[in-house]
A = this chain, B = another copy of it.
Amino acid sequence: MGRIESRLKEMGVVLPRPPKPVAQYLPGVRVDNILYVSGTIGTTVDDNDNDILPFAGQVGDISLDDAYQSARLTAINHLSMIKAVIGDLDQIVRIVKMIGYINAAPGFKDAPQVLNGASDFWIELLGREKGAHGRAALYQNQLTSDAPIEIEMTVQVA
């Protein structure tokens, strides 16, 4: 078991299969040492191998805590998508940048705190030196499947 897979186990995280694509795209594309990872949302996989969305709705209607958890699940899906492209997770050199799109109810202005659910996960998994990253936290007034947050990201790989 690799270093990152061991750390996941310590954290109590079971890596799911990647979300099933809902349209015409790849989970990510690697060019040299940069992996461009597709946007995804915080689905999990149920007992019938279907993707379900434990937290749904606009943030403001759902709580900041639930949206934070949805961002964390999004990061876990990204990890699974990264594995699907590069195979060995220990080839992750560092997280470079993520853009988070928060499905915000009118008046909700704390997108950065929602996106922290993903940022904190990467730092918990990889440590600050490899896990801390650049980012932007933006606002949407709707998202596919009524997800509270969607994230796309860029990762440096070996």
Contact = CB atoms under 8 A, between A and B. Distances in A.
Interface stretch (A4-12, A47-55, A137-145): A137-145
B132 A25 contact: yes
Contacts of A156: 31
Contact of A39 (B32, B137, B152): B137
Contacts of A77: none
Interface string A24-35: 111111011110
Nearest to A138: B101
Given A36-B97, A134-B152, 13 more contacts: A23-B137, A24-B132, A25-B132, A26-B133, A27-B134, A29-B96, A31-B156, A99-B152, A106-B142, A109-B142, A110-B144, A138-B143, A139-B143
23 contacts: A22-B112, A23-B115, A23-B119, A24-B116, A24-B119, A25-B132, A25-B134, A28-B134, A29-B133, A29-B134, A31-B96, A32-B33, A36-B97, A38-B134, A38-B135, A39-B138, A101-B138, A109-B144, A109-B145, A112-B144, A136-B152, A138-B143, A138-B150
